[in-house]
Structure 1
Amino acid sequence: MDHRSESTETLRNKCAACFRQFNRKEHLVEHMKVSHHSGHEPMCGICNKHCRSFESLREHLIGPLPKQECKNIFSILGCRFCLTILDNPNSRRAHEGRCQFSSVNAGLLARLANLGIHDKLSIDSGRTRGPQVVALACKMVGGGSDGSLDLCARICIIDEYENIIFHTYVKPPIPVTNYRYETTGIRPEYLKEAMPLKQVQKRIQEFLCNGEPMWKIRPKGSKARILVGHGLDHDLKCLQLDYPLIRDTADYPPLMKTSKLSNSLKYLTQAYLGYDIQIGIQDPYDDCVATMRLYMRMRSQAHIKEDYPLVNNFESRRQSELERMSPEELLDISRSDYYCWCLDS
């Protein structure tokens, strides 16, 4: 095989998503089976390379070893928050102004939340059209002999318009040995007459299920509410709650590190929303707002609509059929291995 035909063969076996090249077509097919490339992946607006996460895309554009051509264009036309490429520098400046969120309103409402209990939890049994989304955040104090056991002592729930639905201090079921005042701002007197954990648990579970039995809750078309948060498994464990319909910014693949580990909410807020949280005494309302804004940003992405977006199309096709397909055709039948939040819209 001469040099020209070898180059053609390599190009024929180049992944249409991540641009990896393979010596044989069967190797490309195996790569496509396990990579789960799809239109739901973050994509470079310059070279159209698919990246597994926004962190990977950020590294591709402005990391220590970026693609130089993309870096040069991004420095002029790219939004540093959502990583979109704009038409000209003026458009970029106008877009970034809208893309960067402010923490002013969050801080104001957080101080109002501190004034006492807010309880607007209600059940409408699904009468409101479209998915109902709420964000939850807790602040923990310490229990146990060394104060390392996390106990929920304060909780906040907001709607998708960032209005406080529920806020209260929570009386833990066991004695508090460390109030962690430097970060929680919680004093013993705040918990003396606080709502007991069991009561909080019951109120929240009824509100989230929204008149639907837990066993009937399903991913799509449910009356139950979608619950947004960061590290929700931990929060729900401390609340002694089990709830299936969650959207967790700590475990959502596009928001995770390149190493597939979770990013902190503090980092995600600074990098993708453009402001700082969790400085000094932390308020759960600020965390609720940040997770809701991240969720809404991810949900509003304009991805190509697919028939059966969660079906693995490779399993139903023979290897010989797959090897006859072009890289573009392989990408067209490839599907994501995670539930993209754009499907909630």
Structure 2
Amino acid sequence: MKISYHSPHEPNCSICKKQCRFYDSLREHLIGPLPKAECAKQFSERGCSLCLKVFPTAQQLNNHRAACQSLPPLPAISGLRPSLVNKRNQAEKEQILEESSNKSNISGIAMDCEMVGGGRDGSLDLCARVCLVDEEEKVIFHCYVRPPIPITDYRYDVSGIKPEHLMGGMPLKQVQEKIQQILYNGEAIWRIRLKGGKAKVLVGHDLDHDLQCLGLEYPTHLIRDTAKYIPLLKSNKTSNSLNYLTQSFLGYKIQNGTHDPYEDCVAAMRIYKKMRNEDHSLSATEFVPENGVYSRMRQKELEKMSPEALLQISQSDFYCWCMDSR
């Protein structure tokens, strides 16, 4: 039997139970230009525009909205003067790093970088600012970064970075060491890779680009990227912007003017936690195929099953973030 790539882990309409590959497809099904009439009618009366779920009564919807709607985070680092950010007491910095490494209850770390331009035409991305936030939206690490080559374009309109910000910036090599210390819980990298040590889940948007600019590598199975998570993609399989995802799933706008790395970290972490908290049913273990192939005896049983029952045992071709909470 051919494995179906529709599974309980994928978005579905609460009214007609239609399975969708992406949340954007489900949104078009409910409130798009040509929605399904009956679904659109019920959704307009009892549906949440953020999580796209339909509730039995309007009262339940009102109670749900208070928890589903998020408020923009208060500025945590943007208001600090560069001198305060870069010249903070070194003992205090080390204490923050030590506490973050010892907190076993923190399983996820969100990271965001701001780039400036290098090279003759300023098109080369150089990391000039980095921020790490835990699941409680507290800043674990934040600093300005001194790039290894000269900067030719500060991209102030987007980055908000000026030359004076980088006067006391931390060297890139030292930033790499600090970030690895946080993500690997202070353990040696070889222990993580060879002996199965514990490392943090890294959350963010377009993390491949951030890691490349930082000169870092991180295990793929520990990366949760909102730009690559299949249900969050556009219907044409390209990534949505973090601003769009924040407005669609959290209900507020970000990146108004210059980008704030703390604000971006919090948005990515909130989206990740929202996807992680989805309650999806697991596939029935007795029907899991060996090496991707169902036995002939099982095929006869499967042919007699209803489409609804088959859906419960079909397999997804992506790792659902709800598995992180199990």
TM-score between both structures, scaled by the size of structure 1: 0.82
1:94 partner SS: helix
Q: Report the Cα offset of residue 143 of structure 1.
A: 0.4
- Looking at structure 2, the residues matched to 146 and 53 of structure 1 have their Cα atoms a distance apart, in angstroms, of 38
Aligned position for 1:160: 135
2:30 partner SS: helix
Given residue 102 of structure 1, which amino acid in structure 2 is its aligned partner? L
Tell me the matched-pair count: 308
Of 225-234 and 183-192, more deviation after overlay is shown by 183-192
Alignment of 1:79 with 2:48, yes or no, is yes
Match of 1:195 among 159, 162, 170: 170
- Looking at structure 2, the residues matched to 319 and 298 of structure 1 have their Cα atoms a distance apart, in angstroms, of 36
Of 240-249 and 116-125, more deviation after overlay is shown by 116-125
| Cα distance change of structure 1 residues 68 and 259 upon mapping to structure 2, 3 Å threshold | same
Aligned position for 2:29: 60
Aligned position for 2:75: 108
Tell me the percent identity: 53
Aligned position for 1:301: 278
Match of 1:250 among 197, 208, 227: 227
| Cα distance change of structure 1 residues 189 and 259 upon mapping to structure 2, 3 Å threshold | same
| Cα distance change of structure 1 residues 237 and 312 upon mapping to structure 2, 3 Å threshold | farther
Q: Report the Cα offset of residue 110 of structure 1.
A: 3.8
Aligned position for 1:39: 8
C-alpha contact (below 8 Å) 2:283/2:314 kept by paired residues: no
C-alpha contact (below 8 Å) 1:53/1:254 kept by paired residues: yes
1:111 partner SS: coil
Of 186-195 and 325-334, more deviation after overlay is shown by 325-334
C-alpha contact (below 8 Å) 2:289/2:295 kept by paired residues: no
Q: Report the Cα offset of residue 94 of structure 1.
A: 2.9
1:65 partner SS: coil
Structure 1: runs of 5+ lacking an equivalent: 1-28
C-alpha contact (below 8 Å) 1:54/1:254 kept by paired residues: yes
Aligned position for 1:270: 247
- Looking at structure 1, the residues matched to 207 and 257 of structure 2 have their Cα atoms a distance apart, in angstroms, of 22
Given residue 98 of structure 2, which amino acid in structure 1 is its aligned partner? S
C-alpha contact (below 8 Å) 1:138/1:155 kept by paired residues: yes
Given residue 121 of structure 1, which amino acid in structure 2 is its aligned partner? L
Structure 2: runs of 5+ lacking an equivalent: none
- Looking at structure 1, the residues matched to 110 and 145 of structure 2 have their Cα atoms a distance apart, in angstroms, of 18
1:116 partner SS: helix
Match of 1:178 among 136, 148, 153: 153
- Looking at structure 2, the residues matched to 216 and 334 of structure 1 have their Cα atoms a distance apart, in angstroms, of 36
C-alpha contact (below 8 Å) 1:113/1:167 kept by paired residues: no
RMSD: 2.4
Q: Report the Cα offset of residue 97 of structure 1.
A: 2.8
- Looking at structure 2, the residues matched to 215 and 328 of structure 1 have their Cα atoms a distance apart, in angstroms, of 46
Pairing 1:1-345 to 2, within 5 Å after superposition: 30=2, 33=3, 35-103=4-72, 106-112=73-79, 115-117=84-86, 119=93, 120-122=96-98, 128-130=103-105, 132-217=107-192, 223-244=198-219, 245-306=222-283, 315-318=292-295, 321-322=298-299, 324-326=303-305, 327-345=307-325
